Structures are given as C-alpha cells and as structure tokens.
Amino acid sequence: MDVVSDAISAVHLGHPWFHRVRTSGSWCARLDPYDGAGFHVVLKGNCWLLTDSGASVSLGVGDAVLLPHGTGHVIADSPVDAAVAARKSVPFERWLAQTGQRTLPDRDGTEMLCGKYWLDCSRMHPLMAELPEVVHLPSRVGSHLELRSAIDLLAGELDERRPGSCVALPNLLDLLLVYMVRSWMAETTSGSWPGALGDPVTATALRALHSKPAARWSNDRLAAEAGVSRPTLARRFTTLVGRPPMAYLAWWRVILAATLLRDTRETLATIAGRVGYGSPYALSHAFEREFGTTPGRYRAQAAGRSASAADPRPASEQADIADPVRRRLPQSS
C-alpha cells in the first residue's frame, strides 16, 4: 500500500456514521469532542461552523469541511460566537430528532451531509496527526475535481433508493475521506508530510518501506532503492519525516502489527513474520515498548473499540442500519 492509504487504514474503524439533513429557519446544533474525524458537506444553501477553540468557517454550496481530530464544534444557520453557541445550541442528535418531525418545500433551506469517521487514535500516523483542526475545502471552479465528483456521487446515491446502496454509500464515504486528505495535501503550504511525499527521494524510500515492511532493509539498501547516497537519503528523509529511515521503519512495523492484531485473527508468530520480526518475543518486546501493553491485551482492547464503532448510534436508531435511505433525510422547517 501507499503511505496515505496506510495512514488512513491504520486508524480507520468501522463504517462512517452519517445523516443527510434538510433544515431552514434559525438553528444551532453542537457535536461534542469524540475519537474520530467529523465531516460536513453542504449540498444546498449555506451555514457556519464554530469550533471549541474559536475557529469560524463559512460554508457554501459544494464546500466540504473535515475535522480530523474530533474537535467539538457547532454548526448554525448564521454566524455565532462562543456565548451565543452556548446559549442556543442543542445536542446534534436531539436536533436531528427534532428536524425529522417536520417538512419544508424543496426550494427552501439548507441541505448537508454530516457525519463522523471512527478512528483508533492510539496509533495515529504522523501524516494524520499533522492535519489541522479544520480542513476547509471550498468549492471553486476547476479545483478538487475528484472531491467534487465524490460529492456528486454521494448526493446521487442519497437522492433515491438504488440497488447496491448499502455497499456503495459506505465506500463512497471512505472515498470522500481520502479525497479530503489529498486535497489538503495539494493545497497546504505548511506541514512536513506533504513535503515528504512531494520529495522524489523521500517518497521513493517511503513507498519501498510501506510496500515491503518485512524486507531486510538497511540504510544502504534503501539509499540504492532511492537512487542516492546513504548520507543524502539520511539527511532528506530525517529532515522531512522527522526521524531516520530505520527508526521510521521500526515504528511503522509496530504500528502495522497493531493493525493486524485489530483486524485479523492471525497468530502473533504470523504477524511477527509479516512485519519483519524474527520471533513473537522480539515483536512483543518492541510492541510493549511502543504501546505500554502486551499484544494480547491490545487485541482485546481493540476488539472493544471496533465493536463500539460497528454501530455507534443510540439503540433507538439502530433499526435503520440496514436501510441507508431511511436514515438519510431528516427534514425541518
């Protein structure tokens, strides 16, 4: 896999939780902080977002916003400050229940796709950790074409019941996350990871390590793979990634082992071989040094996190899990 795919896969849990919302009039809803990444896509109309830290964003038609660290925030029909938000906002789930009891003409109001990606924040890849509190991707002619296409496909799937929607919707939402991260990387002028993946030497080395983590890598072999001298590789890789190549590889092997413990039933011996350790004991030692717990305890804890992410909605909503069309369109006036 490539670095971005690995960075997302290492933390991704379950399917996204989402709602399509149609609303109008005066409204203000709050989402508390959570382990995951929040997102909003404006399909019609406009709204405002205010984070707990005070960052304010105006959102128009076609805009997408990602909150990659689960930052608490409010969304509202008009600009609000912290004092107004504290007084006017209602919990997001209660707001959804209220809006679902009313109707409004199609020509009025604001339509949004709102949701959360559930993430295992215990082993965040630095690329994901480097994302800012708010990633705002405004709709502009000729920009973010892949993201725009994903938004259009999502809107189309939500507009009517279609064969295969239960498969298409979760996968399109995962695609939306990839495109939002890509779009941020293409636009940002700060951060080391966009620079690392844009540097041909460092990017080549990273691709090699991620595609074959169990290989018997050395600085000399990796430098030859990147087509540069060992000192050149060490200097560029360390500057852009933040740690030397072999230190990064050792860290990534343990993170990959954690992913396999969470997502598979493979034995520790099998996982050790897949990530480049000569024995389960060697992997256990490195794993406990990184995570402060044994692989067995980590697997048990990860099973609990994955079960929670499988259906994080309140029990009263879980009857709709098999029908994404039924849970797609709360309405209000």
Q: Look at residue 170 in the predicted model and tell me its pLDDT.
A: 87
* % of the chain at pLDDT higher than 90: 62
With 50 as the cut, is the pLDDT of residue 333 above it? no
Higher pLDDT, 276 or 107: 276
Q: Look at residue 140 in the predicted model and tell me its pLDDT.
A: 80
With 60 as the cut, is the pLDDT of residue 101 above it? no
pTM of the model: 0.84
Report CA-CA distances (Å) from 157 to 17, 106, 160, 173. Answer: 16, 18, 6, 11
Which DSSP string do the residues of 228-240 spell out, in sequence order?
Answer: S-HHHHHHHHHHH
Q: Is 26 exposed, middle or buried (0-12, 13-18, 19+ CB in 10 A)?
A: exposed
* 3-190 and 192-307 in the same fold: no
With 90 as the cut, is the pLDDT of residue 285 above it? yes
Contacts of 102 (CB under 8 A, 6+ apart): 331, 332, 333
pLDDT of 124-163, one tens digit each? 899 999 999 999 999 886 788 889 898 888 888 877 777 8
Contact yes or no for 137/184 (Cβ under 8 A): yes
Higher pLDDT, 104 or 52: 52
The lowest-confidence range among 199-213, 258-272, 305-319 is 305-319
Superfamily of structural domain 192-307:
Homeodomain-like (1.10.10.60)
Enumerate the β-bridge partners of residue 111. Answer: 22, 44
3-190 CATH, one of 1.10.287.1080, 1.10.20.10, 2.160.10.10, 2.60.120.280: 2.60.120.280
Q: Is 87 helix (H, G, I), strand (E, B) or coil?
A: helix
With 80 as the cut, is the pLDDT of residue 321 above it? no
With 80 as the cut, is the pLDDT of residue 266 above it? yes
Contact yes or no for 63/39 (Cβ under 8 A): no
Closest CA to 7 of 119, 126, 122, 118: 126
Q: Where are the domains of the chain?
A: 3-190, 192-307
**What DSSP designation does 331 have?**
B
